[in-house]
Structure 1
Amino acid sequence: MSKSRDAVHEILRQSTGFRSAQDVFTKMRADGAKIGLTTVYRALQSLSDDGRVDVLRNDEGESVYRACASQGHHHHLVCRRCGRTVEVAGPDVERWAEVVGAEHGFTEITHTVEVFGTCQSCSTGAPAN
């Protein structure tokens, strides 16, 4: 699994945006890799569990992945049109999740927050910052 996992991670590191498991699989097969789609899914899950890739669900509910650009917990702003993604901290969200969990007697709270919108470039035709 380590060799496959490393190969999947390399595909994501070379990508500029989020990619689906099917995209990764298709790219690897086109490059001559003898890998199955199930192995790609397992590698992506392992990389996600290790914090080496970000995973989010797009507007269609599909999980998409990319190599992490930052260490530690963070959230994403994602453009619905072009897929541009900005990593953001969310200290207010972190506090809220802990409070809500505690109010209901939950411990070991985890969460994911993704914010979707339209980036400035897509909204105005101006170059992205």
Structure 2
Amino acid sequence: MVKRVTRPRTLIVEELKHSDAFSTARMIYSGLQARGKKVGIATVYRNLQIMADGKEVDTLQVHGETFYRLCRDHHHHHHLICRECGKAVELEIPGFEEWTRLRAESLGFSDVSHSLELFGLCAACRLRESKGDDGQHRRLSSD
């Protein structure tokens, strides 16, 4: 099945390209509005769900809210995420997938899936924090 590339989807992708951070649908919608792009909030949610189902965006669940990020690497991967600004870096953990599979099998499990997200403070936020700047924060994690 060929997916139609619609104007709203193109605008959402362009909005997501502006940042390496995870953003909520409402944040993406606000960014589009600020740039004068007229896309309804329901259209943003619907397209993000379609994109998530198609593995075009990475998703992250934090405190019951879904955050989205344009997927740069289309195979299974993990993230290191700044808990202040939401900046994310994709992580490859050599041997982790094989270890997970073998450990699950040794415990009698099969068809195991997983998600691993690590949270920390990026260099820019750490510097901002050390200077006492408490500007606008998006705090993603309560750790």
TM-score range with shorter-chain normalisation? 0.7 to 0.9
2:44 equivalent in structure 1: 40
CA offset at residue 2 of structure 1? 3.3
Q: Equivalences for 1:83-102 in 2 at 5 Å?
A: 83-102=86-105
Stretches of structure 2 that go unaligned for 5 or more consecutive residues are: 131-143
CA offset at residue 122 of structure 1? 3.7
Mapped to 2, the partners of 1:28 and 1:92 lie a distance apart of: 40
Mapped to 1, the partners of 2:116 and 2:97 lie a distance apart of: 10
Q: Equivalences for 1:41-80 in 2 at 5 Å?
A: 41-58=45-62, 60-80=63-83
Question: Over aligned residues, Cα RMSD in angstroms?
Answer: 2.6
- Contact kept in structure 1, 2:21 and 2:85, CA below 8 Å: no
2:29 equivalent in structure 1: 25
Stretches of structure 1 that go unaligned for 5 or more consecutive residues are: none
- Structure with higher helix content: 1
- Structure (1 or 2) with the larger CA radius of gyration: 2
1:7 equivalent in structure 2: 11
Instruction: Flag the 1:85–1:7 CA change in 2: closer, same or farther, 3 A.
Output: same
Q: TM-score scaled to structure 2, two decimals?
A: 0.69
Identity within the alignment, %: 36
Q: For 2:30, what is the secondary structure of its paired residue?
A: helix
Q: For 2:43, what is the secondary structure of its paired residue?
A: helix
Aligned residues: 124
Instruction: Flag the 1:29–1:121 CA change in 2: closer, same or farther, 3 A.
Output: closer
